[in-house]
């Protein structure tokens, strides 16, 4: 399966990013072939609704599962509609989290981690809530 992991940098050795919608990168790994790809998260700088766009991005990369630490309701709803499962990662590298996932040691998220961040509503707004500190 293809797993998208929210990441602070490029490559499996990077730290897991604590947020989904505005993490700097996604590291996408095919667990069968071992193929690895790092993608810049284009949603990170946009005015509201980053969770929506980040969800679209990982969907377009063909991910079946996502590993992250915190996710808002919009992203959660989008991934749910796309049939992509979300797992709660732990502090550490992307690689370490993939190993934990493989050993079924990561909890599956059955609801969003936090409340809705302010929407765009037609007005430019700064980056949304930075839950868990800056990535």
Partner 1 sequence: MRIAVTGGKGGTGKSTVATALAVELGKRHEVVLADADVECPDDHLILSIERKGFADVKLPLPAFDFEKCIKCGKCASTCRYNAIVQVKGKYPIFDPGLCNGCGACMLVCPAGAISRGQRKVGEIFRGEGHGISLFSGEMEVGYEEASPVVNALKEKIPKSEFEIIDTAAGTHCNVISALRGCDYAVAVTEPTPFGAHDLELILRLAAVLGVPAGVVVNRSDLGETGEVNKIAEKHGAEVIAEIPYSKEMLESYSRGEPVAGKGILGIAEMLEAMLK
Note whether 8 binds partner 1 by CB under 8 A.
Answer: no
Note whether 55 binds partner 1 by CB under 8 A.
Answer: yes
* Alpha carbons 126 and 46: distance in angstroms, whole number: 8
Smallest gap from residue 15 Cβ to partner 1 (A) = 27
Note whether 48 binds partner 1 by CB under 8 A.
Answer: yes
* Nearest partner of 80 among 60, 62, 101, 59, judged by Cα: 59
Q: Which of 14, 46, 93, 113 touches partner 1 by CB under 8 A?
A: 46
Note whether 77 binds partner 1 by CB under 8 A.
Answer: yes
Q: For 37-46, which contacts have Cβ atoms below 8 Å and span 24 or more sequence positions?
A: 37/61, 38/7, 38/10, 38/11, 41/6, 44/127, 45/127
Instruction: Return residues touching partner 1 (CB under 8 A).
Output: 43, 46-50, 52-53, 55-56, 59-60, 74, 77-78, 81-82, 116, 118-123
């Amino acid at each position: 399966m293809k797993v998208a992991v929210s990441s602070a940098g490029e490559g499996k050795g990077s730290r897991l990013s604590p947020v989904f919608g505005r993490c700097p990168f996604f590291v996408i790994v095919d667990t069968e072939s071992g193929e690895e790809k790092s993608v810049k998260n284009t949603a990170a700088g946009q005015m509201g609704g980053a969770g929506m766009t980040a969800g679209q991005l990982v969907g377009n990369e063909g991910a079946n599962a996502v590993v992250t630490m915190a996710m808002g309701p919009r992203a959660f709803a989008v991934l749910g509609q796309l049939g992509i499962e979300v797992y709660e990662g732990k502090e550490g590298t992307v690689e370490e989290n993939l190993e934990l996932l493989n050993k079924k040691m990561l909890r599956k998220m059955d609801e969003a981690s936090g409340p809705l961040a302010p929407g765009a509503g037609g007005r430019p707004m700064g980056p949304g809530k930075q839950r868990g500190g800056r990535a």
